[in-house]
Amino acid sequence: MTQNPNYHLETLAVHAGVEPDPTTGAVMTPIYQTSTYAQADVAQHKGYDYSRTDNPTRTALHGALAALEGGTYALAFASGMAAIDTILRLIKPGQHVLSGNDVYGGTFRLFDKVLSGLGIEFTFADTTDDTAVSAAIQPNTKLIWLETPTNPMLRLTDIAAIAQIAHVAGAWLGVDNTFASPALQSPLALGADFVVHSTTKYIGGHSDVVGGAIVLNDTAVYEQLKFLQNAIGAVPGPMDCFLTLRGIKTLAIRMAQHCRNATQVAHFLADHPAVAEVIYPGLESHPQYELAQRQMRGPGGMISFILHGGEKAARLVARETKLFTLAESLGGVESLIELPAPMTHASVADSPLAIDPGLVRVSVGIENAQDLINDLKQVLNRV
């Protein structure tokens, strides 16, 4: 089942990785809440021996994640950051990583504050511009790292074009696919070597679990990452794997509703006199609308917008919506609202990546679109 390439995403989301439990026939994956496993004899173990190394609930999740991304192998982690950190352990001191310049703040912090202290060289470039990427390649470049769409500016990078640049340079391409989810974008099919997710977001989808994942095709690199997963030990527990698997079942229908709702909300915002600018890959006004149409199967659930009233108006909106909860994170069934400049992006305040303090970011949930629009309307009519 897991590797059957003929099934569509909706089917894979429900079935991939999951087989009825061999001992009981349980249809839903059991939560194997155990740290260790009885062995038949000394030093002859086959199968499971210790849950840092492997756990059946995690094995099922690996199967589901690989199938969703159309990859051969997947590995699950305790968080998105743990997944990214584990890939970076493939990079040796003296090697160079070329990263997108508006990656997730936690990724920037890991690269800039943790790993560059260990002798890995980083440069940050605008991956939306092929020429800038080519110019930043060095003889020791081993990895190009990017996100598309980015947070919160929703800029897009042409994955296939950058994959080609990476491979000519003898480097890997890693794509953080958290914002699009596997329902809307398939980086491996476009030439990426690694796909990473914060499964905390759309894959889990219910704001009830933190997790991460790597998906890839190369067997030798998979073996190295599998070794690192066990050696480092940033693995998710069985309950977290179960919750993520449970979330995955509805990924396809959730993403369809996120896209439908966000499209309606984006059009409402674009027509509202209090709103100066709406950034959404599904609007023709998006500077990379054509790339979004070509590379993504839907525009996603994230919208950023700027109000004529600036920061003061943005703060009022973020505080006074009722259905949109003021909170960090994204990708859950419930709508969230936040101001990146003082909240998620405070750490880049004094850098060229500083975000307009009047920018509002919303993660549009799967509620009724008109209810969401009415909620925004009642506050926008007052700013």
**Residues annotated catalytic, as ranges:** 52, 104, 176, 201
| Residue 344 interacts with ligand PLP (CB under 6 A): yes or no | no
Contacting residue, 55, 79, 185, 261, with ligand PLP by CB under 6 A: 79
| Calpha distance 28→356 (Å, rounded) | 46
Residue 209-248 contact track with ligand PLP, rule CB under 6 A, x = bound: -x-x------------------------------------
Asked if 348 and 303 count as a contact pair (C-beta separation under 8 A), the reply is no
| Calpha distance 126→136 (Å, rounded) | 10
| Residue 207 interacts with ligand PLP (CB under 6 A): yes or no | no
Contacting residue, 178, 185, 244, 304, with ligand PLP by CB under 6 A: 178
Q: Which residues of 17-47 are buried (b: 16+ CB within 10 A; e: fewer)?
A: bbeeeeeeeeeebebbeeeebeeeeeeeeee
Asked if 79 and 212 count as a contact pair (C-beta separation under 8 A), the reply is yes
Instruction: State in angstroms the smallest separation of the CB of 23 from ligand PLP.
Output: 32
Cβ proximity to ligand PLP: between 76 and 91 the closer is 76
Q: Which stretch binds ligand PLP (CB under 6 A): 25-33, 36-44, 77-85, 354-362?
A: 77-85
| Calpha distance 256→298 (Å, rounded) | 8
Structure tokens at 76: 């699950």
Q: Which stretch binds ligand PLP (CB under 6 A): 14-22, 74-82, 222-230, 317-325?
A: 74-82
Picking from 374, 355, 170, the residue whose alpha carbon sits closest to that of residue 264 is 374
Contacting residue, 99, 200, 229, 363, with ligand PLP by CB under 6 A: 200
Whole-angstrom Cα Rg for the chain: 21
Cβ proximity to ligand PLP: between 149 and 307 the closer is 149
Residue closest to ligand PLP (Cβ) = 80
Q: How many CB atoms lie within 10 A of CB 259?
A: 20
Residues binding ligand PLP: what is the number (CB under 6 A)?
16
| Calpha distance 98→121 (Å, rounded) | 8
Cβ proximity to ligand PLP: between 196 and 307 the closer is 196
| Residue 194 interacts with ligand PLP (CB under 6 A): yes or no | no
Asked if 102 and 51 count as a contact pair (C-beta separation under 8 A), the reply is no
| Residue 191 interacts with ligand PLP (CB under 6 A): yes or no | no
Contacting residue, 63, 71, 80, 301, with ligand PLP by CB under 6 A: 80
Question: Helix, strand, or coil here: 9?
Answer: helix
Question: Helix, strand, or coil here: 125?
Answer: strand
| Residue 201 interacts with ligand PLP (CB under 6 A): yes or no | yes
| Residue 54 interacts with ligand PLP (CB under 6 A): yes or no | no
Cβ proximity to ligand PLP: between 2 and 347 the closer is 347
Q: Which stretch binds ligand PLP (CB under 6 A): 1-9, 45-53, 76-84, 119-127?
A: 76-84
| Calpha distance 227→329 (Å, rounded) | 30
Residues found in the chain: 383
| Calpha distance 321→104 (Å, rounded) | 25
| Residue 198 interacts with ligand PLP (CB under 6 A): yes or no | yes
Q: Name the residues that contact ligand PLP, by CB under 6 A.
A: 79-81, 104, 106-107, 147, 151, 176, 178-179, 198, 200-201, 210, 212
